[in-house]
Structure 1
């Protein structure tokens, strides 16, 4: 089974457009990191991705704190959505790390 990434990416971008822009300070911009990877340093891309995940976690924590303090501009749904986004991004990062470690071990076990 072969999966073509272009229709999948287009569908994800169309779904992104359906998300209400009134989700507070959270904007779905994960696809921005994938747009221009030609000639980019892998370490720099990985660092940006980890920084993005960290930013999502900080935003989620900030919204939860503001909700706990009684800020009326933050809704429970905004907080839950932010928490889920940060959780999904973290899980994806862990999976990428696992694949990189697995690939490294496989390369190191190859005979020279």
Structure 2
């Protein structure tokens, strides 16, 4: 179950990187570096911690919100006849926000299921 959640989170991070446009090859600021997870790893700076789960989740939710806002703004600009908002850009932005929202809903469903599994475990 943890692998599934990690997979969904990595897909959200990949989507966020694609949504950045020309900076898509740059690593995400909230990317989890596997070296940071091991305290004995070489090259790990003392006192620097990997982002926590809540911070990672908040960043992912902010990315989804940003994608939806951009999509809405492009759609409104297209409807008002702005020549910079062509139909292709509007459709791509709408699909990106749709995929991001669906991925977020899937993560939520997985987290709820994991919570229910833990709560139903015998003591």
TM normalised by structure 1 equals: 0.71
User: Could you tell me which residue of structure 2 aligns to residue 100 of structure 1?
Assistant: 111
Q: 2:31 aligns with which of 28, 35, 50?
A: 35
Over 3 Å counting, the alpha-carbon distance change for 1:33 and 1:106 in structure 2 is farther
Q: Take 1:45 and 1:26, find their aligned partners in 2: how far apart are those partners?
A: 17
Alpha-carbon RMSD across the aligned residues, in angstroms, is 2.6
Work out the number of aligned pairs and report it.
91
**Superposition deviation, residue 34 in structure 1:** 6.3
Tell whether 2:84 aligns with 1:88.
no
More contact order relative to length (CA 8 Å, sep ≥ 6): 2
Q: Which runs of 5+ in 1 are unaligned?
A: 17-24
Q: Which runs of 5+ in 2 are unaligned?
A: 1-6, 37-49
TM normalised by structure 2 equals: 0.65
